[in-house]
Amino acid sequence: MKIQESINGLKELGFTEYEARIYLSLLRSHPSNGNTIAVQSGVPTPKVYETLRKMQEREVVFTVPGGDKGNQMRYSPLPYDDLLSRSKQAFLGNVDFLQKALTEISAMSDTNWTELFVINGYAAAMEAVRSAVTEARADIIMSLWSPELDFLHEALMDAHRRGVSIVTLTFDQGRKVPWRHFQHHHADLIRARHTGELNMVLDKEKTIIFQSSQERPHAVVSSHPVTIKTTLNYIRHDIYVNRIVQDFGEVMMQRYGSGLEGLIDDF
């Protein structure tokens, strides 16, 4: 007989160990008095009546007066078909309730929080960037240094050939590329500000921010709309400013200095 499996199954329905043993004992022989239940179930006699009282409150055990002495209280179980039917209805009712309640609670959130994680190490971070480039479907925009551009060149070329729109900005003199490309204004202060920096947004769905100049290079990867929008605007604004510097460089250097220090070092 699958006694232990049945006990475990009843415990899944909310029974305690003692309740499950008593219920199975009553299924096999009922009506039964407390002493008989204790012997057949293995539940200690002092615990039998306390457990039976709790089971009566839940209406899984019922009292049957009578017996040989007339006034001896005996107990019978709720038929197992009724028990299982009641448990099934309660379970399904709870599922229906949770379906509605969790849907409402989820709808209350106006922020779609998403996963954010860190990749440590230069090689691991650059491999993650390369992999992201190979998975891009629509567009890539990024700012980086020429060594990283050289590392990503083949993957970017493949993306370009399959129709992905690419825009890049290099902080130093980079190689010629067939997609839209911009070069950052060169100045020592600018170089110091952007050392080791790589920023990218892919398909407006994921952003990778990589800092390789620190003692422990690491990249932060996120698909949260806030990080995507902020990073996208950061790269765009850097491109906007450098286009202005390229078109009106002489005027700006007269106003802010040859390295634009009067502008850049303002804060």
Task: Tell me the C-alpha distance between 142 and 130, whole Å.
Answer: 12
Q: Compute the average pLDDT of residues 182-204.
A: 85
User: Residue 234: is its pLDDT beyond 90?
Assistant: yes
CA neighbor of 132 nearest in space, from 213, 216, 203, 211: 203
User: Residue 45: is its pLDDT beyond 80?
Assistant: yes
Using a 10 angstrom Cβ sphere, with 0-12 exposed, 13-18 middle and 19 or more buried, the burial of residue 201 is buried
pTM, two decimals, is: 0.56
Higher pLDDT, 77 or 227: 227
Please state which of the ranges 31-40, 148-157, 184-193, 235-244 shows the lowest mean pLDDT. Answer: 184-193
Q: Which of 45-54, 86-95, 219-228, 254-263 has the highest mean pLDDT?
A: 219-228
User: Residue 265: is its pLDDT beyond 80?
Assistant: no
* Confidence at residue 164, expressed as pLDDT on a 0 to 100 scale: 96
Task: Tell me the C-alpha distance between 133 and 127, whole Å.
Answer: 10
CA neighbor of 229 nearest in space, from 246, 208, 207: 207
In this structure, are residues 208 and 129 in contact, taking their beta carbons and an 8 Å threshold?
Answer: yes
User: Residue 162: is its pLDDT beyond 90?
Assistant: yes
User: Residue 112: is its pLDDT beyond 60?
Assistant: no
Domains of the chain: 3-79 (1.10.10.10), 116-264 (3.30.870.10)
For residue 56, give the amino acid letter: Q
* Confidence at residue 255, expressed as pLDDT on a 0 to 100 scale: 86
User: Residue 154: is its pLDDT beyond 90?
Assistant: yes
pLDDT band with cut points at 50, 70 and 90 for residue 158 = very high
Higher pLDDT, 240 or 260: 240
Task: Tell me the C-alpha distance between 110 and 225, whole Å.
Answer: 12
Task: Tell me the C-alpha distance between 170 and 264, whole Å.
Answer: 18
* Confidence at residue 117, expressed as pLDDT on a 0 to 100 scale: 87
User: Residue 114: is its pLDDT beyond 70?
Assistant: no
Q: Compute the average pLDDT of residues 142-148.
A: 94
Task: Tell me the C-alpha distance between 169 and 183, whole Å.
Answer: 5
In this structure, are residues 207 and 221 in contact, taking their beta carbons and an 8 Å threshold?
Answer: yes
